[in-house]
């Protein structure tokens, strides 16, 4: 049975479309009073923080070309679009005489109102992410951003401006995208903004042994208190739903030995349960508590009452599968240094190599990604059984090696097509055969774009972007997903 014959198992209100993030596509960093973000600062440091030395200053010019991007969505048959709002364009952080600014920015609000109205007009459901890593630099300068609990109140105020400005049209809200990435890559390894780490070759400031856990705690609180505000002040007026998006690979034991089965669960606890368990269950995983001790902050009774149950759905970004073994303990000689400070950022060893020496799946252009749809199905089952919430797949995609070739070679992205064929089939099987409630599938990404620390060398888009001309060219993967979506519309 082909994938296009099985789609009648998906919910009638299933959302299917594509995802992007503001800093990765917009460009126009000064337009409509937008203030600098930590990514603007990070990409313009004297030392090379981005592989190709680039930044998001231009990106895909989507701040100017948004109508062209909506036309692409329409041509691909999407019924939904997930995009993020930039905090520093919604709120005006320019200092004013006698104040510190922080007022709603009418120009920025009007711009995104226009986009949202156009999406609705075209029959495309807007799914809005409030925070996709672009912290206003003003808040980092003022009190160290996510390292300070003051961020919670500021985030809630920003979110309330968005709810009031767009809530009549936006019914699907995501508070924060991938808090693990913010905490670990931004404050542990120092490879993402703001680039803090114990590794002094990367940063003059930072403590990888403590800061990721402080940041993650404040991210969870900011999410939860925003949801509280939404439910109390805006949901009664506008309706809608709200949640958080977490990221994880599927974790499978390297073999079925007890130590490897346990290691796979430890991996889930450290990557996913770190955030999901407090939000859906009301407490941090026990294995995380034992590993970190007093470095893991504690929730007050008042806070946990707000945190527990603070997501209407389970937002999932996932790309690959890891085989898992227990981490080998390495005794490091000499004075404490970066390796010791960062050793607890990962709980296990992961690999793509099976016990028989074969690779798990097709290798992407990036080292951390292989194609293994069976793992995706396993992960969907794990989430449904563990957290008992509808799963919204908010990102899923593949960086094909063909993207590095000529334009003609990039458009024929066979490996990406095969990836989407396998992962959409796995999703349908999880729904139809396993009974998992999955409510959305957003392919990452609508466009090739600024891929964070990789710059523009890595491409995840189903649309090829010529960065010299900003012309857009649909890849074969866009055609496959268009047929997938078209078939689902026919079954709805």
How far apart, in Å, are the Cα atoms of 34 and each of 107, 132, 161, 339, 452? 9, 16, 16, 38, 20
What are the percentages of helix, strand and coil residues in the chain, rounded to 5?
Answer: 45, 15, 40
Residue 355 DSSP class: T
Decide: 194 and 181 in contact? Cβ < 8 Å. Answer: no
Measure the CA–CA gap between 42 and 36, rounded to whole angstroms: 10
Structure tokens at 198: 């114990």
SS3 243: strand
Structure tokens at 364: 């992407």
Sheet hosting strand 321-326, strand order edge to edge: 250-253, 321-326, 348-351
CB neighbour list of residue 440: distance below 8 Å, 6 or more residues apart: 14, 15, 16, 80, 127, 392, 393, 394
Tokens 């070739």 appear where?
405
Q: What are phi and psi of 252, to 5 degrees?
A: -120, 140
Kind of pairing between the strands at 241-247 and 321-326:
unpaired
Measure the CA–CA gap between 258 and 262, rounded to whole angstroms: 6
Q: Which of 26, 178, 395, 451 is catalytic?
A: 395
For Cα atoms 155, 157, 158, give the angle at the middle one, nearest 5 degrees: 65
Residue 47 DSSP class: S
Measure the CA–CA gap between 6 and 220, rounded to whole angstroms: 37
Decide: 415 and 399 in contact? Cβ < 8 Å. Answer: no
Structure tokens at 278: 């407090």
SS3 378: helix
CA 374, chain centre distance (Å): 21
Nearest Cα neighbor of 62 from 22, 25, 9 is 25
SS3 6: coil
Measure the CA–CA gap between 285 and 386, rounded to whole angstroms: 12
Active site residue 395: yes
Kind of pairing between the strands at 250-253 and 321-326:
parallel
Catalytic amino acids? Answer: 395
């Amino acid at each position: 049975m082909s994938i296009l014959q099985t789609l009648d198992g998906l919910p009638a209100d299933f959302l299917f479309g594509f995802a992007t993030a503001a800093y990765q596509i917009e460009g126009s960093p000064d337009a409509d009073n937008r203030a600098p973000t930590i990514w603007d600062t990070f990409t313009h440091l004297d030392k090379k923080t981005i592989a190709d030395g680039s930044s998001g200053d231009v990106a895909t010019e989507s701040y100017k070309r948004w109508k062209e991007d909506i036309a692409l969505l329409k041509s691909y048959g999407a019924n939904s679009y997930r995009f993020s709002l930039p905090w520093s364009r919604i709120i005006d952080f320019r200092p004013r005489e006698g104040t510190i600014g922080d007022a709603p920015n009418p120009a920025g609000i009007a711009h995104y109102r226009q986009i949202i109205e156009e999406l609705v007009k075209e029959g495309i459901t807007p799914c809005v992410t409030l925070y996709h890593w672009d912290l206003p630099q003003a808040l980092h300068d003022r009190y160290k951003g996510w390292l300070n609990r003051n961020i919670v109140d500021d985030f809630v105020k920003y979110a309330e401006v968005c709810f009031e400005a767009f809530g009549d049209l936006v019914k699907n809200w995501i508070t924060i995208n991938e808090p693990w990435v913010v905490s670990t890559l931004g404050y542990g390894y120092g490879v993402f903004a703001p680039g803090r780490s114990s590794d002094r070759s990367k940063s003059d400031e930072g403590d990888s042994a403590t800061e990721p856990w402080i940041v993650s705690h404040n991210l969870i609180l900011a999410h939860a208190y925003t949801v509280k505000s939404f439910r109390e002040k805006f949901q009664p007026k506008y309706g809608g739903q709200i949640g958080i998006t977490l990221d994880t690979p599927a974790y499978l034991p390297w073999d079925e030995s007890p130590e490897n089965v346990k290691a796979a669960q430890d991996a889930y606890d450290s990557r996913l349960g770190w955030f999901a368990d407090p939000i859906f269950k009301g407490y941090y995983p026990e294995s995380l508590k034992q590993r970190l001790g007093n470095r893991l902050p504690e929730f007050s009774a008042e806070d946990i009452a707000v945190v527990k149950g603070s997501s209407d759905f389970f937002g999932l970004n996932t790309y690959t599968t890891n085989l898992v073994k227990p981490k080998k303990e390495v005794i490091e000689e000499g004075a404490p240094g970066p390796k010791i400070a960062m050793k607890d950022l990962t709980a296990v060893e992961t690999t793509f190599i099976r016990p028989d020496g074969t690779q798990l799946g097709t290798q992407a252009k990036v080292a951390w990604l292989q194609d293994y749809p069976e793992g995706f199905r396993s992960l969907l089952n794990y989430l449904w059984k563990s957290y008992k919430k509808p799963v919204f797949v908010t990102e899923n995609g593949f960086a094909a090696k063909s993207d590095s070739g000529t334009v003609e070679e990039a458009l024929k992205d066979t490996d990406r097509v095969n990836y989407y064929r396998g992962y959409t089939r796995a999703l349908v099987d999880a729904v139809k055969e396993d009974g998992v409630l999955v409510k959305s599938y957003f392919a990452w990404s609508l466009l090739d774009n600024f891929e964070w620390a990789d710059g523009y060398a890595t491409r995840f888009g189903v649309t090829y972007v010529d960065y010299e001309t900003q012309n857009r060219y649909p890849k074969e993967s866009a055609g496959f997903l268009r047929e997938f979506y078209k078939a689902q519309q026919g079954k709805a």
